[in-house]
A and B are shown apart, each in its own frame.
Chain A
Amino acid sequence: GAGVSQSPSNKVTEKGKDVELRCDPISGHTALYWYRQSLGQGLEFLIYFQGNSAPDKSGLPSDRFSAERTGGSVSTLTIQRTQQEDSAVYLCASSLARAQETQYFGPGTRLLVL
């Protein structure tokens, strides 16, 4: 079946602009995660959605970052007033039900803020 997909694959934007990153999880997966990976660094947890529960936003670095998950499926990560330090690869993952289970990652969105 189809894996996790993300769009766009690459995004170049100017400092101060808003960007939206999209994630389509594997069908039937109720858990969805967003991570950020800066060049040469590990993955930084951003936010976690589990079913209809309130998301865990504890990893979001600032109030410029927000995420939604509509209908328990597609998720959008929004970065407002982008800064150069926001440049990174943004990875989305989904798992069947819980974080204890295998996470399946998408290919990521490479964001470059000029």
Chain B
Amino acid sequence: LAKTTQPISMDSYEGQEVNITCSHNNIATNDYITWYQQFPSQGPRFIIQGYKTKVTNEVASLFIPADRKSSTLSLPRVSLSDTAVYYCLVVENSGYALNFGKGTSLLVTP
């Protein structure tokens, strides 16, 4: 299983851009990088997934360098409602056991 490492917590003010970086040094060739968001008392929900370079959707952007040993989730102009835990996962194309880890707890304040 590819292990991921991400910061335990981050703080930001409203309106700022937040970048959360995840390390996955032993990612395999066919693995995908996926990010989930979890609000208190709710199950996680999918944010974005990518394989390489950059992926953007209405919620976030995901930057993946050429070596794919890390990835950065970028949240533009965060609001208070973006306060949540963000999980970085390496989804193995050949496997299925998923390790969510402890995620990054993001606190957005006014």
Contact = CB atoms under 8 A, between A and B. Distances in A.
Contact of A100 (B44, B91, B101): B91
Interface in A24-60: 31, 33, 35, 41-45, 48, 50, 56, 58-59
Contacts of B42: 105, 107-108
Interface stretch (A11-19, A65-73, A77-85, A91-99): A91-99
A72 B45 CA distance: 23
B71 to A, nearest CB: 16
Given A107-B43, A108-B41, 9 more contacts: A31-B96, A42-B100, A42-B102, A43-B44, A43-B87, A45-B100, A103-B44, A103-B98, A104-B45
B101 A42 contact: yes
Interface residues of A, number: 26
B97 interface: yes
Contacts of B46: 102-104
A108 B100 CA distance: 16
Chain B interface main SS type = loop
Contact of B43 (A45, A100, A105): A105
Kindly state the interface size class of chain B when it binds its partner.
20 to 34
Interface of B: 32, 36, 41-46, 49, 87, 91-93, 95-103
A100 B32 contact: yes
B98 A45 contact: yes
A41 B102 contact: yes
Contact of B100 (A35, A100, A102, A107): A35
B6 to A, nearest CB: 10
Contacts of B97: 45, 48, 56, 58-59, 99
Contacts of A100: 32, 91-93
A91 B43 contact: yes
Contacts of A45: 97-100
Given A43-B44, A99-B91, A107-B42, A56 B96 contact: yes
A42 B91 contact: no
B81 to A, nearest CB: 18
A10 B87 CA distance: 25
